[in-house]
Amino acid sequence: MKIKKAVFPVAGYGTRLLPATKAIPKEMLTLIDKPLIQYAVEEAIDSGIEQIIFITGRTKKALEDHFDINFELNKILWESGRTKLYEDMKRISEMVDVIYVRQKEQLGLGHAIACAKDIIRDEPFAVILPDDIILSKEPVMAQLIRQYERVNGSVISLMPIEDYAAHKYGIVEVDSRLDDRLYKLSNMVEKPKDTPPSNLAIIGRYILTPDILPVLEELRPARGGEIQLTDALRALAKAGSVYGYEFEGQRFDCGDRVGLLEATINFAANNDELRPHLKEIIGKLQV
Ligand code: UTP
């Protein structure tokens, strides 16, 4: 079945980036001149996604406005002859079909995804966490969709990490290796305190089969009072239908100050117009 819908959970508090996230969602913070959310939406569209479901919280207005038409701005840009900017702004509002669902209480990522159940119904769907931004030749979601078409089960994105960083991620336990990058998974542990079951961490891109929705709905809050996606994935993995794919690309954790800084520098280094400026700035830097 074709993957047409993508859920974007964007209702978190973003406490690691306060005060920037006090009045706007962290997904509206910018990398150079584009909000994180737009990079993630473009990745979804380039991967063939047709409908986007934002699970939002109290700061949803900025997101809605970003993907809406701004008549006044369009008029000013058009009348002042800035046609390229005008076209760019128009393109954002016409990008994709968007649905907004409100997560009334911030009960965790698992709960946020379950809020989309009436829209997802019985289709497999994508989940994108827009604070994970990934530089890659082929969009990571397209890489996952290709694997989903092979295995016909849930596929989650994986990245190798050092042991000392394992406590910050969900870490998977591998049942078997199907090829260079594809694994069948038997279990996963959220932020392990002791020895992690592997060096493969779960990153914010998923293809989920709809059987995860009733599992999510039955879960009770776990550690930190949140309903964890990892707990539902564990139940499906034990039933034998969850795969992991070590994607090709460089991932940045833009929900964190250092990750956001690293991403900004890397995106500038990858941009023909900005690269000479970056070199000059770094050349002059006194640290
Ligand atoms: P995080 O674990 O990064 O939490 O959520 P957070 O609140 O966004 O950020 P910090 O840790 O306080 O800085 C992972 C993803 O799940 C979403 C977030 O918006 C983010 O995309 N989320 C989390 C929800 O949509 N609802 C929730 O109740 C919790």
pLDDT band at 86 (very low <50, low <70, confident <90, very high): confident
CA of 132 to the centre of ligand 1 (A): 11
Averaged pLDDT score across all residues of the chain: 93
Whether 59 has a pLDDT exceeding 80, the answer reads no
pLDDT band at 221 (very low <50, low <70, confident <90, very high): confident
- For atom 8 of ligand 1, the residue with the nearest CA is 12
Q: Distance between CA atoms of 30 and 92, rounded to whole angstroms?
A: 15
- Give the pLDDT confidence score for residue 155 in this predicted structure: 98
Indicate which atom in ligand 1 lies nearest the CA of residue 8.
21
**8 A C-beta contact, residue 230 and residue 185:** no
Residues with CB under 6 A from ligand 1: 9-16, 55, 103, 106-109, 111-112, 129, 131, 255
Burial of 10 (0-12, 13-18, 19+ CB in 10 A): buried
CA of 12 to the centre of ligand 1 (A): 4
- For atom 10 of ligand 1, the residue with the nearest CA is 14
Indicate which atom in ligand 1 lies nearest the CA of residue 9.
25
Mean of pLDDT values over 70-81: 89
Amino acid at residue number 132:
D
- For atom 16 of ligand 1, the residue with the nearest CA is 109
CA of 10 to the centre of ligand 1 (A): 7
Indicate which atom in ligand 1 lies nearest the CA of residue 26.
8
Indicate which atom in ligand 1 lies nearest the CA of residue 107.
28
- Give the pLDDT confidence score for residue 91 in this predicted structure: 82
59-68, 104-113, 118-127, 178-187: segment of lowest average pLDDT = 59-68
- Give the pLDDT confidence score for residue 70 in this predicted structure: 86
Q: Which tokens in the block code for residue 40?
A: 């993630």
- Give the pLDDT confidence score for residue 69 in this predicted structure: 84
**8 A C-beta contact, residue 226 and residue 11:** no
Whether 286 has a pLDDT exceeding 90, the answer reads no
Q: Distance between CA atoms of 28 and 85, rounded to whole angstroms?
A: 19
pLDDT band at 171 (very low <50, low <70, confident <90, very high): very high
Mean of pLDDT values over 97-107: 92
pLDDT band at 181 (very low <50, low <70, confident <90, very high): very high
pLDDT band at 94 (very low <50, low <70, confident <90, very high): confident
Give me the CATH code for the 5-283 domain, please.
Answer: 3.90.550.10
CA of 18 to the centre of ligand 1 (A): 13
- Give the pLDDT confidence score for residue 93 in this predicted structure: 81
Indicate which atom in ligand 1 lies nearest the CA of residue 111.
28
Sign of CA dihedral 150, 121, 255, 197: negative
What own/partner pairs with CB < 8 Å and gap ≥ 24 does 12-20 have? Answer: 12/57, 12/106, 12/109, 12/112, 13/57, 13/106, 14/131, 14/255, 16/255, 16/256, 16/257, 17/255, 17/256, 17/257, 17/260
Burial of 237 (0-12, 13-18, 19+ CB in 10 A): buried
Task: List CB contacts of 191: < 8 A, sequence separation 6 or more.
Answer: 166, 167, 168, 169, 170, 223
CA of 273 to the centre of ligand 1 (A): 33
